[in-house]
A and B are shown apart, each in its own frame.
Chain A
Amino acid sequence: MIPLPLTEDERMIIDMVSDFSASELAPIAHEIDIEKRVPIEAIAKMRELGMFGLLIPEEYGGSGVRAILSARVIEELSRACAAVAITVAVHNSVGAFPILKFGTEEQKVRFLPRLAAGAIGAFCLSEAGAGSDAASLQARATRDGDVWVLNGTKMWVTNATQAAIYLVFARSDPDPAAGHRGITAFLVERGTPGLSISKLEDKMGLRASDTAELVFDGVRVPDVNRLGAEGEGFRVAMSALDNGRIGIGAQALGIARAAFSEALKYARERRQFDRPLASFEAIRLKLAEMDTDIQAAALLVYRAAMMKDAGLPYGPQSAMAKLWASEAATRVTHAAIQIHGGYGYTKDYAVERYYRDARVTEIYEGTSEMQRIVIGRSVLGRV
């Protein structure tokens, strides 16, 4: 047990989310994965429960919970359905949070209450040629009086089909030498002319989460929708990702916990050679390694969240949390399938979905390689 410094109210919120996950998400997780369907009804209920206002302060209509509670909520949702969890995690940490951190008071008043009420946010950074190397993005923002005109194509946009507000990063300085200092962030409303979905991705996992390619073709955005200063976009993106990584770590942790619990259950019930699997030393050691991997992930994720709550710099710690938790989730779900044997390779058991869902946590919001660069640099400096 990892004792977290949570209040009675915070524990009640976790219990509520846990109950909701078990009763509303777990029963549909398999079917929405197969059907590749965003569960609109379940998401509507989550709106009512206030899960889209977790990080937004009360004055803007949210609940303004601490990062540690937000991480626990994502973890609980992920145990039941990692696809729905990422909808919430992306909305909260890279959709709403950057507005809270970089927005003007006018922008906060205009956008945050809507986001808190469940108008979903999306984050548009990556492009076909700019993944880990986000600073090389090519989408253009050209000024036309009080309006910016956006042109370009964005990839891997989570929540793309359901979002009401898109946070978009584009190059506002045409000088190629400007590099990451030439990028500016904009808030784009759904339905703005010129904004369209060009391709819905058919993914290995998280199939009930909508990921798409978005085309911006002469999309006109008023300057009052610019988030942060001109040229500050890359900083906005990196800060959002520092925060987002705690959420991905929590998601990976939730998936791993779900896989472990299935593996433990199966190992106790399944008999071979007249003995339960759990009586074989190799299986016991596998379970112990899985649990240890998970506990390490939990300790690292909770630490990053608590450091954020304490107002301390937490960039390297959130990178560590994301790196370990995501790789642990892959190891743990892999082992969970192994314990299930052939059954684990079928869709009759949830472990194959956990395995597919876990894999992307090593990739999105910064690949494991990028996390290692962040952590390595925090120790060595720029060598």
Chain B
Amino acid sequence: MIAGAEARDHAAVFPAEEIRVLAAQGWLGLRAEPTTGGEREGESARSTLATLLAVSEFARACASIGLLIGLHNLLVCDAVAEHALDPMRGEFLSRLARGEWLGAAAFADPMTARSSGAAAVAVRSGDGFILSGAKSFVPGAAGADLFLVYAFLGEGPGDARHAHRERCLLLVPRDAEGVSVDPPDPLVGVRASGTATVHFDGCRIRGRQRLAPSGWARGIARGILAAADLVVAAQAVGIAEAAFEKAVRQAQEREPSGSLVGSHESIQFKIADMRVMIDAATLFVMRAARARDARDPGFAYEAAQAKAFAGRAAVKVADEAIQIHGGAGSLAGHGIERHWRDAKTTELNPSTRETAMLAVARHLLDEADGGSGRLRG
């Protein structure tokens, strides 16, 4: 997977074959009930932490695959398991968990010059909806079979411009009529993640493909986005570990000027600081994973903090890893600059580090206010 990761990153190729193999091994069914076809059984294998450890391990080899495995399991599978209505719940979950379907979460509204089209709006029609518009920066879009779409709920096309309107969460299979996926975005990192804009051109959605009743979508979406923060945090830990491992090898084995790289105090100190940051990032991920499983109200805060810390740690660790490699570290194909580019995305996905830190601040101020929201903003 590691050798392939370099090539896929270079060519920005979606790892379709690798995902197929991982699906066959059960890695798309980490969260599912055993009865629905998930390969892994037992409570521990289904904990959030166990899933995140897998995300980190995959991300160590390939940041794109780590991200896809995490989003599929913790966002799509969990949302379907918890909020989908029967019979969709059973049918979709079984396909997702057995690995027949790869799920992708489509949350970002088009806002860049590249993303064409208006935000996705679902308009009521009969007992269902007509979905039109687009979602951008959807990781895994290139290979996904099911989209979890966070759309506006409108009265007609073009309604999306109104603020504070109702939202809805819809499950939309890739093969539904009217769904199309743009070519993948030329990203700086996670280039093999198949991140792309998804268009919905008058897709007919049955009422039962909607998650949860009216008015609940925003709250559920917040939980899903917090889980996305946590997946990216675990991904960042994996990226950092990969860069660290290479930096350590460089320090222990290379003698560019007659002495081992690692014999220099400046390098030893860098290695020490890198190790501390990775350890702390891992502990943040473990803490937030526990909060999620315990349904702790502080979960979103802990996930945002984990993401902010782990993302920054990954960027710094990958940056120093390049430094320890010297000029060779900047060579494409040398296997080190990829981690640097991948790491940067963890400070941008699913939202920026600043967004995460402002959420942390809001939580701290709300707590100090005793929940009065006096300083909410």
Contact = CB atoms under 8 A, between A and B. Distances in A.
A37 interface: no
B364 A373 contact: no
Interface stretch (A19-27, A168-176, A212-220, A284-292): A284-292
Contacts of A288: 305, 308, 357-358, 360-361, 364
Contact of A320 (B271, B279, B357): B279
B65 to A, nearest CB: 26
A289 B365 contact: no
Contacts of A372: 268-269, 272-273
Interface stretch (B24-32, B233-241, B280-288): B280-288
A319 to B, nearest CB: 8
B335 interface: no
A265 B364 CA distance: 11
Interface residues of B, number: 38
Contacts of B368: 264-265, 268
Nearest to B274: A379
For the residues of B in contact with A, the DSSP-based class is: helix
B251 interface: yes
Contacts of B280: 296, 299-300, 324
Interface size classification for chain A: 35 or more
For the residues of A in contact with B, the DSSP-based class is: helix
Interface in A250-301: 264-265, 268, 276, 278-279, 281, 284-285, 287-289, 291-292, 295-296, 299-300
A291 B305 contact: yes
A377 B263 CA distance: 10
B283 A303 contact: yes
A383 B260 contact: yes
A380 B262 contact: yes
Given A268-B365, A289-B357, A380-B262, A300 B279 contact: yes
Nearest to B357: A288
A380 B251 contact: yes
Given A279-B375, A300-B279, A300-B283, A284 B358 contact: yes
Interface string A351-383: 000000000000000000101111111111101
Contacts of A278: 365, 375
Interface of B: 248, 251-252, 260, 262-263, 265, 268-269, 271-273, 275-276, 279-280, 283-284, 287, 290-291, 296, 298, 305, 308-309, 354, 357-358, 360-362, 364-365, 368-369, 375, 377
